[in-house]
Structure 1
């Protein structure tokens, strides 16, 4: 599958002093989480927390750079045993599960994790991973079975907040990625890990995997899911 890259992987520039501005969306948002009403230091309301979370930390934290002032922290300390520290949104029932395009938008800040993989953002349906992103080594990586897309660097994150949007086309089995600029695609034709028959029961999953040799940590915020026309 051809991947159209207009510009090589670049650091996306924005002014941190004014923080991240909430993006305008011309659609009905079906699911949203900004953690504004959640208690600091506790699990986010409504999220599904894995049993492996007891070996790490999942909590709502204060963050003045986000519109709501709060974020979700997923933290996996060093451990000789592999555990999956995971927080998932509830499965979403769509008015039209056969809709062609699903949009997922969120803010992401990578903090720790220098291996090639270990921090994951999954878009799932039918309990299977359909789209996979990895915030690792200060990069946003994309993973798919297609040749050349095995944990491939697609955008520079550094340790700053970035707004990410994925518009996933079920019919084409490919996605368009937006980074900070929600009006201009950053990358197009990014392949799915697995095809999607229906968006029914779609969920967003955040996982950091424990390993003996390093600490892993990512922050997430201002999450939205909707159907794109």
Structure 2
């Protein structure tokens, strides 16, 4: 069974961060809060840990997890050929509920699954998550749920689905967002919508307009 740690006081918060960090560095998986939904996390550079994450969710290698980082500056170490319009989105929406699929650095020593040379990256807008990321480095993070079930919005839901498969569950109360991030493919000339989530397309297009591009794959009403 997993260890559940709360963040009600400053002392408990530090204990929770330390417990999650220790578990993740040791190659285990942990449930952590984010600004959108609770996530199940593993060291992105530990293939065995990523396999544990996928197994816990009941997911195969054909659905690789996104990677969370604590700052946009980290992205250049993970991705190449980043369009200027994608960088404009970093500036405007990170930290926040936008995930961008980018061409990954060929030299990266990791195995997230069948990524086809890409990596999905996001900077979450959650102080506790950012502090964990600052101690661990990039984390593979997927929604904390069994595949086919809704994402967990609090630690109880995460524990019900994943309690037997993770080392640590950080209980930081209900997530502030409650809706998954919007995902854009930024590997082509124009951004393509892969999942509509917490960030509206209209807000994204307002940032993209000066770059002469707009989100593709969106059904808009006349």
Q: What's the TM-score, normalizing by structure 1?
A: 0.26
More helix by share: 2
More strand by share: 1
